[in-house]
């Protein structure tokens, strides 16, 4: 870039620095800034539009447009050229603005007189805060040098907005990080809690976006880059070559850390007048914008690597580590972009009151742990990491997928009422803890709990569960960077059985793949991993891992009863091969002189429609079956449970799905095979009544659901419920939910 342009950029940033240092606040400061930019850029118009809310841009300062339009002219995201610039997070540069597609004529501003238009997004770390616009009467496109200068200025404006430079005074903006704001995400785990924000990875705060000493900033950047490269090299040297996945990530880090183009762009930004920190953030913002638009998974991963590397570089430059010294509040709600199972488990059960994530999915590791801990989880709460500060009051509504940050009194009072109502309900359920789930017609339904952590087991007696219908064994594999040893697993499984105090525990063998990937087991490049190389398929292809786990389970039983079930069995052949491996493990343990289980149950999880239509011989030879409702429903309806556009479109109570379940119940009854249902629907009272009425005599759910389910089952006649369901199916109702819900509402 020519020295002239860099010099002009530095001059402009120097003037902005003077504005920052002045005592003016709010609107006065904004007005001075647009005047400075217009003069420096030699253009007739300069305007700053900032977001008033998530979807509305407001003209907050201008020179060249009508002054009375300030704080009056507003537009929606995507509306007009300004809205398009914000939506696309990209520069709009045109010589004939009125002829552009989407141009919006705003008579109150008088802008129809100006042909040339250049809009630059004001963004920080991928979050668009507003749009900087310059306009001229002459029909011309702004040069690349001019656009670059505007991008540099926009970066500084973003930092100034973040730091509250435009708040206060008459007409000024209300301060960021103080306004009430509600984030609408998705439900990852039900429940409601009020707590204080604890950021998993606090933001790096850049307080010096402008520098008048580029040589010093270039030296600081160079020294920090060298430290970064050394850190990456140390991590690589300490990673075993066998950990191919981790090595691959670190190799990508090293490639970026040594990228000349990445370094050159940051050096150019510094020469234009930015500080080293601001230059890193400017490049990071561009990367995050591209990340949000990238559809290719490989490109997204690489951009994520660059984003993480930029965070490391910023922490070196500022000296702000992850541990900022902020004390964890008494009622912490963890707020993070995303989090792995190992990091989450380090907080420990009972520490966190809730979790809010910007990313994540209903089947993610964080969701599994949140369910195990029975704490509310909201996922896909976009923007909360940027907006939240440590210690902010946050209300987490896991049922609705809402997070109310810094709520006003009205929202807070309504939420307190909701929490009180839930607490009263839990007290009522506690009275039922030792009573059976026996319906009015005398039918008894066994209610079991799902678990996956040792921390879950104390919930067994307090929840009223009769046993553990599903113990997820994959969590012990997911939280570490290498394969656990057999002795470690055996000791853990033994502690699980000890804690169960003789109650039945059904251990599901390793269920990885799909959304659960081990860092030390290279994931497959699969277009549809949910239907790919996962669960028992992986176990049979890697029999050493399956045998090791089965041996650990047998040794843990040490003469006690043992229940094992294999996940994602699609045909009888897979079950027979897996059971053969179990028999081999029993034989080997016998030869070694180890005590064998006093009783063995070997079952399968029915999660694919194909297994529902297996031969009667299979139903007779399997010791028990557990319907995995979450996967079975997604494959039956061809609706990805991780895709929010379709996963809620289909209902377990649709007549077609109940027809499938009815067939499974009938085959198991004919073969005398015990049958259970495990999944989210088992823990929903209305669905649980339907399942029990259809013939399921064992349901497995999260511990917190046992009370509500037991309460409703004890209040109804399951024979009458079955008649309501059958009548609806005979009538041809697409779903039995309306009829069943209406009938339940009439029950005392």
Q: How many residues does the chain have?
A: 748
By DSSP bridging, strand 332-336 and strand 181-184 are: unpaired
Q: CA-CA-CA-CA torsion for 714, 715, 717, 723, nearest 10 degrees?
A: -120
Give the SS3 label for residue 702: coil
Specify which residues 394 forms β-bridges with: 195, 405
First CA to last CA across the chain, in angstroms? 79
**Cβ neighbour number for residue 111 with a 10 Å cutoff:** 26
Give me the catalytic one of 286, 365, 404, 448.
365
- Provide CB contacts within 8 A for 169, sequence distance 6+: 24, 25, 26, 27, 28
Q: What is the DSSP string of 455-499?
A: GGTTHHHHHT-SSEEEEE-THHHHTSSSPPPHHHHHHHHHHHHHH
User: Contact, 125 vs 387, CB < 8 A?
Assistant: no
What's the angle, vertex CA 132, arms to CA 131 and CA 135, rounded to 5? Answer: 125
Give yes or no: 71 in active site.
no
User: Contact, 451 vs 472, CB < 8 A?
Assistant: yes
| Sign of the CA dihedral running 187, 191, 193, 198 | negative
Rounded to whole angstroms, the Cα distance separating 163 from 621 reads 68
Q: Give which of 558, 551, 467, 456 is closest to 509, Cα–Cα.
A: 551
Structure tokens at 303: 């951009």
By DSSP bridging, strand 192-199 and strand 332-336 are: parallel
Give yes or no: 365 in active site.
yes
Give the SS3 label for residue 656: helix
Question: In the chain, how many H helices and how many E strands?
Answer: 27, 23
Give me the catalytic one of 43, 46, 668, 678.
678
User: Contact, 377 vs 662, CB < 8 A?
Assistant: no
Rounded to whole angstroms, the Cα distance separating 78 from 75 reads 8
Q: What is the DSSP string of 357-402?
A: ESS--TTSHHHHHHHHHT--EEE--TTHHHH--TT-EEEEETTTTE
Rounded to whole angstroms, the Cα distance separating 627 from 604 reads 9
Rounded to whole angstroms, the Cα distance separating 127 from 648 reads 29
Give the SS3 label for residue 739: helix
Distances (CA, A) of 535 to 509, 543, 567, 578: 8, 12, 6, 11
Give the catalytic positions in this structure: 365, 678
């Amino acid at each position: 870039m020519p020295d002239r342009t860099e010099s002009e950029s530095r001059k402009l940033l120097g003037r902005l620095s003077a504005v920052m240092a002045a005592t003016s606040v709010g609107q006065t400061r904004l007005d001075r800034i647009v005047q400075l930019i217009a003069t420096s850029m030699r253009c007739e118009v300069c305007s700053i539009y900032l977001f008033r809310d998530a979807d509305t841009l407001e003209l907050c300062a201008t020179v060249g447009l009508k002054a009375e339009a300030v704080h009056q002219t507003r537009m929606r995201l995507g509306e007009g050229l300004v809205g398009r610039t914000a939506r696309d997070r990209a520069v709009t540069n045109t010589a004939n603005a009125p002829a552009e597609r989407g141009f919006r004529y705003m008579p109150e501003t008088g802008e129809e007189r100006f042909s040339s238009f250049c809009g630059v997004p004001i963004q920080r770390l991928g979050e668009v805060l507003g749009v900087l616009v310059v306009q001229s009467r002459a029909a011309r496109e702004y040069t690349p040098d001019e656009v670059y200068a505007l991008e540099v200025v926009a970066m500084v404006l973003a930092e100034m907005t973040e730091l509250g430079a435009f708040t206060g005074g008459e007409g000024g903006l209300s301060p960021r990080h103080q306004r009430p704001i509600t984030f609408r995400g998705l439900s990852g785990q039900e429940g409601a809690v009020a707590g204080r924000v604890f950021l998993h990875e606090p933001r790096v705060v850049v307080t010096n976006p402008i520098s008048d000493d580029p040589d010093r900033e270039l030296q600081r950047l160079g020294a920090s880059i060298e430290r970064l490269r050394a850190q990456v090299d140390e991590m690589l040297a300490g990673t075993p070559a066998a950990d191919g996945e981790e090595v691959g990530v670190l190799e990508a880090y090293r490639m970026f850390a040594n990228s000349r183009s990445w370094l050159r762009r940051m050096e150019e930004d510094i020469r234009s007048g930015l500080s080293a920190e601001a230059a890193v953030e400017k490049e990071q913002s561009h990367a995050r914008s591209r990340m949000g638009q990238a559809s290719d998974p490989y490109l997204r991963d690489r951009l994520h690597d660059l984003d993480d590397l930029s965070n490391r570089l910023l922490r070196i430059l500022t000296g702000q580590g992850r541990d900022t010294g902020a004390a964890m509040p008494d009622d912490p709600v963890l707020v993070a972009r995303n989090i792995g199972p190992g990091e989450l488990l380090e907080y420990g059960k009972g520490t966190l009151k809730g979790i809010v994530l910007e990313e994540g999915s209903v089947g993610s590791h964080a969701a599994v742990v949140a369910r195990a801990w029975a704490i509310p989880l909201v996922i896909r709460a976009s923007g909360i990491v940027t907006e939240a500060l440590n210690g902010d009051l946050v209300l987490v509504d896991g049922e609705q997928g809402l997070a109310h940050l810094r709520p006003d009194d009205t929202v807070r009072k309504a939420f307190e009422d909701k929490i009180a109502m839930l607490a009263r309900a839990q007290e009522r359920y506690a009275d039922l803890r030792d009573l059976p789930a026996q319906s009015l017609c005398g039918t008894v339904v066994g209610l079991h709990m799902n678990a996956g952590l040792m921390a879950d087991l104390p919930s067994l007696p307090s929840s009223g569960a009769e046993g553990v219908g599903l113990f997820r064994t994959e969590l012990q594999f997911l939280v570490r960077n290498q394969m656990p040893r057999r002795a470690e697993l055996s000791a853990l499984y033994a502690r699980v059985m000890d804690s169960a105090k003789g109650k039945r525990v059904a251990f599901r063998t390793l269920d990885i793949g799909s959304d659960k990937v081990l860092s030390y087991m290279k994931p497959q490049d699969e277009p549809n991993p949910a239907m790919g190389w996962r669960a028992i398929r992986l176990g049979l292809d890697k029999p050493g891992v399956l045998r090791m786990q089965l041996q650990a389970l047998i040794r843990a039983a040490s003469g006690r009863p043992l229940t094992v079930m294999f996940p994602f069995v699609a045909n009888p052949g897979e079950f027979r091969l897996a059971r053969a491996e179990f028999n081999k493990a029993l034989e080997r343990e016998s030869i070694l002189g180890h005590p064998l289980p006093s009783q063995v149950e070997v079952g399968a999880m029915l999660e694919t429609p194909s297994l529902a239509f297996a031969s009667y011989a299979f139903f007779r030879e399997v010791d028990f079956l557990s319907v995995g409702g979450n996967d079975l429903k997604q494959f039956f309806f061809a609706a990805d449970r991780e895709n929010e556009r379709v996963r809620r479109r289909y209902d377990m109570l649709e007549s077609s799905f109940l027809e499938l379940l009815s067939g499974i119940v009938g085959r198991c009854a004919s073969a005398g095979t015990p049958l259970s249902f495990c999944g989210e629907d088992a823990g929903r009272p209305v669905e649980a009544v339907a399942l029990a009425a259809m013939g399921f005599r064992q349901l497995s759910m999260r511990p917190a659901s046992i009370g509500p389910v037991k309460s409703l089952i004890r209040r109804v006649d399951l024979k009458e419920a079955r008649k309501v369901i059958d009548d609806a199916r005979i009538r041809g109702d697409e779903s039995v939910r309306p009829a069943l819900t209406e009938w339940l509402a009439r029950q005392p």
